[in-house]
Amino acid sequence: MQSINPFTGQIIGEYREYSSAEVEQIILKVDRAFHSWKQRSFRQRAVCMKNLQAKLIERKEELAGIIVSEMGKVKREAIGEIEKCALVCAFYAENAESFLKNEPIKTEATESYISWQPIGTVLAVMPWNFPFWQVFRFLAPALMAGNTGVLKHASNVPGCALAIEQLVREAGFPENVFRTLLINSSQVKTVIENPLIKAVTLTGSTPAGRSVASAAGFALKKSVLELGGSDPYLILDDANIATAARLCVTSRLLNAGQSCIGAKRFIAVNKVYDQFKAEFVRLMSEAKFGDPLDGQTHIGPLARTDLRDELHQQVLKSVELGARILLGGFIPEGEAPFYPPTVLENVVQGMPAYHEELFGPVAVLFRVKSEEEAIRIANDTVFGLGAGVFTSDIERGKRLAEKGLEAGCVFVNDFVKSDPRLPFGGIKESGFGRELSAIGIREFMNVKTVVVK
């Protein structure tokens, strides 16, 4: 397993994959750790979680450096990612107990209630795009609930995977409460089948989700899936166009466009389309790509050359079929896998840019006649992760958010962000189940009914 810096092209780490026997041994140890960890009080678990929060903040520069070197995001964003991990640790350290307290229910019995009990070791299969955040938003609630975890991280970020395991250890969690497995994706099915693994959560692409959910389904184990997205943003006739364009560009370019909840499709009604387009393209053209360690850089390289080339093919194929390039759309000179901010219009059904997720800084603009047509195009996708609406009429925005848009989260007059306090997840091929908030911590619990006659 190699870790390659996408900006320099240098191999920065080489790791040996674990054998099946080593994986089995680790899972056995993690299961043993579960039986004592679940006995600890919330207060005891919270001490470790608060230590973990402090370690993240103490070492944020160094940890952000590992992220930048393995997947290429700009340093400023990597530091923000580490800070957000600290936030989710604090959130669950403070709230897990109240989220999981017994819930009395009135029946004819003397007493009846729901008791939330941990289920054991959960496998987390995670992607490289937010290599710390994706793991921490699983890890913090899972460990606070009394579960234990094993992580199979994306193959291009083994350094992040091992750094997280080490941090958990240093924070004073008991040995083997959380372990990293350096394995490739073909070994995941065997891990799911291991009787000591009780559930699986995957954040990643839709094909990976299908494969993991099938294995979990066959083994009769619960799964939570956070998959891809092609988030639509509606720009209505009463929107503040300057604000809409600024927030849409920010969302599209965050993490060099490699975000599941990045704004990807921009649907503006006729009356404001030209104004929105001019401002959007202007702001996209101002974003500079370059060295992720340089404070002036807006977007770093994409994480891998194959992913950049795949994105470019989606653009080229769409152009061949009639899409028009308003900005970008070429492979820059040099070895690093950069892709310039790119804007397409005239995109219609049948083109990759219409149907597929564009996992990079590529935006698609749609001109529509009405709010109804905007909703129709927004929902004409297999994905249902996030969505946005820009309008000065808040009631109209809420109506479209609640009843119009098919998505797991809709933001009115802002772009979609994950927040430890709010449930996060999608519908349709964007997955099922929720992370974060009280709902997220309850996903991997035994919802136990207790009745006293």
Catalytic residues: 226, 260
Q: Which of 118, 141, 146, 229 binds ligand NAP (CB under 6 A)?
A: 229
- Rule CB under 6 A: is residue 131 a binding residue for ligand NAP? no
Q: Which of 204, 328, 340, 404 binds ligand NAP (CB under 6 A)?
A: 204
Query: Between 146 and 408, whose beta carbon lies closer to ligand NAP?
Result: 408
> Which of 117, 167, 126 shows the shortest CA–CA distance to 150?
126
Q: How far is the CB of 275 from ligand NAP (least distance, A)?
A: 30
- Rule CB under 6 A: is residue 208 a binding residue for ligand NAP? yes
Distance CA 166, CA 103 (A): 36
Q: How far is the CB of 20 from ligand NAP (least distance, A)?
A: 15
- Rule CB under 6 A: is residue 359 a binding residue for ligand NAP? yes
Query: Between 144 and 385, whose beta carbon lies closer to ligand NAP?
Result: 385
- Rule CB under 6 A: is residue 149 a binding residue for ligand NAP? no
Query: Between 95 and 134, whose beta carbon lies closer to ligand NAP?
Result: 134
Query: Between 279 and 429, whose beta carbon lies closer to ligand NAP?
Result: 429
Q: Which of 212, 249, 299, 416 binds ligand NAP (CB under 6 A)?
A: 212
- Rule CB under 6 A: is residue 357 a binding residue for ligand NAP? yes
Three-state DSSP string of 29-71? HHHHHHHHHCCCCHHHHHHHHHHHHHHHHHCHHHHHHHHHHHH
Distance CA 172, CA 384 (A): 39
Cβ(310)–Cβ(298) below 8 Å: no
- Residues whose CB is less than 8 angstroms from the CB of residue 385 and which lie 6 or more positions away in sequence, other chains included: 227, 228, 229, 230, 231, 260, 261, 407, 408, 409, 416, 425, 426, 430, 431
x/- map, 382-421, ligand NAP, by CB under 6 A: ---x------------------------------------
- Rule CB under 6 A: is residue 205 a binding residue for ligand NAP? yes
- Rule CB under 6 A: is residue 152 a binding residue for ligand NAP? yes
- Rule CB under 6 A: is residue 314 a binding residue for ligand NAP? no
Three-state DSSP string of 114-159? EEEEECCEEEEECCCCCCCHHHHHHHHHHHHCCCEEEEECCCCCHH
Q: Would you state the structure tokens that stand for residue 183, as one six-digit string?
A: 């394995």
Question: Nearest 10 degrees: CA dihedral of 79, 153, 427, 142?
Answer: -80
Q: Would you state the structure tokens that stand for residue 85, as one six-digit string?
A: 């991990």
Stretch touching ligand NAP by CB under 6 A, among 25-33, 40-48, 206-214, 322-330: 206-214
Query: Between 200 and 344, whose beta carbon lies closer to ligand NAP?
Result: 200
Cβ(268)–Cβ(368) below 8 Å: yes
Report 33-92 residues binding ligand NAP (CB under 6 A).
none
Query: Between 37 and 415, whose beta carbon lies closer to ligand NAP?
Result: 415
At 365 the three-state DSSP class reads strand
Distance CA 145, CA 49 (A): 11
The residues that bridge with 112 in the sheet, in sequence order, are 451
Q: Which of 228, 300, 329, 340 binds ligand NAP (CB under 6 A)?
A: 228
Query: Between 227 and 368, whose beta carbon lies closer to ligand NAP?
Result: 227
- Rule CB under 6 A: is residue 127 a binding residue for ligand NAP? yes
Task: Find how far residue 374's CA is from the centre of its chain.
Answer: 26
The DSSP letter of residue 205 is: -
Q: How far is the CB of 228 from ligand NAP (least distance, A)?
A: 3
- Residues whose CB is less than 8 angstroms from the CB of residue 62 and which lie 6 or more positions away in sequence, other chains included: none
Stretch touching ligand NAP by CB under 6 A, among 115-123, 153-161, 287-295, 436-444: 153-161
- Tell me the one-letter amino acid at 350: G
Distance CA 441, CA 137 (A): 10
- Residues whose CB is less than 8 angstroms from the CB of residue 399 and which lie 6 or more positions away in sequence, other chains included: none
Query: Between 188 and 375, whose beta carbon lies closer to ligand NAP?
Result: 188
Distance CA 77, CA 133 (A): 11
Q: Which of 112, 185, 240, 379 binds ligand NAP (CB under 6 A)?
A: 185
Q: Which of 30, 86, 93, 125 binds ligand NAP (CB under 6 A)?
A: 125
Report 236-265 residues binding ligand NAP (CB under 6 A).
260
Distance CA 230, CA 249 (A): 15
Stretch touching ligand NAP by CB under 6 A, among 3-11, 31-39, 140-148, 226-234: 226-234
Q: Which of 5, 211, 342, 391 binds ligand NAP (CB under 6 A)?
A: 211
Write out the residues near ligand NAP by the rule CB under 6 A. Answer: 125-129, 134, 152-155, 184-185, 188, 203-205, 208, 211-212, 226-229, 260, 357, 359, 385, 426, 431
